[in-house]
Amino acid sequence: MKKYLLPVIMLAIFETVAITLWLTMDNLFYLLNFSYIGISIALGIFLFLRKYKHARRVTQLLVGLYMFFYLGVMCRENMQIEGFWYYLFTGVFEAATIHYAVAKIFGPLIFGRGWCGYACWTAMVLDFLPYKVPMQPRKKIGWIRYFTFALSLIFVASLFLAHLGNMEKIMFRAFLMGNLLYYAIGIGLAFLFKDNRAFCKYICPVTVFLKPMSYFSLLRVTCDTGKCISCGKCKRVCPMNVDVTDHSRKRKNGTECILCFECVKNCSKDAL
Ligand code: SF4
Ligand code: SF4
Ligand code: SF4
């Protein structure tokens, strides 16, 4: 039973967030929202421990579809980074702000870039593409993320400076258009670079938050050097080009790890 401790811990963390927000904000939505996400994540980890091949994808689809269709399309909440800036500017502590605080700013201190592996609705689609393992060496164009990050901020600031009316409607349209753009660029880059996760590596503005915070992540894949035979399989199957055999936090592409556990599944020596 000890091996099932991890899903229980994850569920407990999310339930703590759910109950705390429910009581402090006096809003039942937070209890249901974070409980649903916690159960989906715990289920994914449980299935992984039961060696179900598509365990991560189950969680990714459960959370990603819920976020995109329910929160984004049905509740008309801009869950993109533009929505985060928007609600921050208006001073409204809404779902998008809380979502960013939990999943992308403070949460990564505990679960690193788990968001990218198990919840993101952009990657949920990109992971269906044929290049699960990158077929080309990594490009040195990661600086683009700072550009898109600044662009998202400038876009929202311009809307406020222009004193436009009906901002909620504009932000909803920006959410739909932004997602279409992300999917188009993400799919195009995946085929161009033969790498499903090219968008995550070079373009995604959210990584400006995710990368530095996940450097300190409590949850991380480590290597038992006593068992490792340096076969290199883990590095070959990693979608994010992480040198997981290096134990240090400064390991190559360390802040790129999305906790997909492909390396762990493929290590024949159980060194990870
Ligand atoms: S890097 Fe961006 S697009 Fe990729 S999974 Fe993470 S949040 Fe989603
Ligand atoms: S797959 Fe396992 S044994 Fe091979 S290099 Fe990676 S950690 Fe070491
Ligand atoms: S394969 Fe391993 S090192 Fe690479 S992203 Fe997945 S969990 Fe992280």
CA distances to 232, 244, 248 from 269, rounded to whole Å, are 12, 14, 20
What is the pLDDT, as a whole number, of residue 90? Answer: 85
Nearest ligand for residue 226 CA: 2
Nearest ligand for residue 183 CA: 1
- Give the pLDDT of the chain (272 residues) as one tens digit per residue: 677 888 898 899 889 989 998 998 888 988 998 899 999 999 998 998 898 989 999 999 999 999 999 888 988 888 889 988 998 888 777 667 878 888 888 889 988 999 999 999 999 999 999 999 999 889 999 999 999 999 999 999 999 898 888 888 999 999 999 999 999 999 999 999 999 999 999 999 999 999 999 999 998 999 999 999 999 999 999 999 999 999 889 999 999 999 999 999 999 999 99
Task: Classify each residue of 137-168 as buried b or exposed e, where b means 16 or more C-beta atoms within 10 Å of its C-beta.
Answer: ebeeeeeebeebbeebbeebeebeeeeeeebe
Rounded to two decimals, what is the model's pTM?
0.91
d(CA 25, ligand 1 centre) in Å = 28
| Residue of 132, 220, 228, 244 to mutate, ligand 3, most atoms within 8 A of C-beta | 244
- List the chain domain ranges: 80-214, 222-272
Please tell me the distance from the alpha carbon of residue 231 to that of residue 233, in angstroms, as a whole number: 6
Alpha helix (H) ranges present in the chain? 5-25, 28-49, 55-65, 81-90, 95-99, 108-111, 114-118, 121-126, 144-161, 167-193, 198-202, 207-214, 233-237, 262-266
Give the amino acid at 41.
I
- Residue 161: what are its φ and ψ, rounded to 5°? -65, -30
Please tell me the distance from the alpha carbon of residue 192 to that of residue 266, in angstroms, as a whole number: 27
* Alpha carbon nearest to ligand 2 atom 4, residue: 231
Please tell me the distance from the alpha carbon of residue 170 to that of residue 226, in angstroms, as a whole number: 56
- R_g of the chain computed on alpha carbons: 19
d(CA 87, ligand 3 centre) in Å = 33
* The pair of three-digit structure tokens given for residue 198, joined into one six-digit string: 């090219």
Judge if the beta carbon of residue 159 lies within 6 A of ligand 2: no
Q: Atom of ligand 2 at shortest distance to CA of 235?
A: 6
Residues contacting 133, CB < 8 A, separation 6+: 236, 237, 238, 239
**CATH 3.40.50.970 fits domain 222-272:** no
What is the pLDDT, as a whole number, of residue 116? Answer: 95
CA distances to 53, 77, 153 from 244, rounded to whole Å, are 21, 37, 34
d(CA 165, ligand 1 centre) in Å = 31
- Residue 172: what are its φ and ψ, rounded to 5°? -65, -45
Q: Which of 206, 203, 227, 211 has the alpha carbon at shortest distance from 153?
A: 206
Judge if the beta carbon of residue 237 lies within 6 A of ligand 2: no
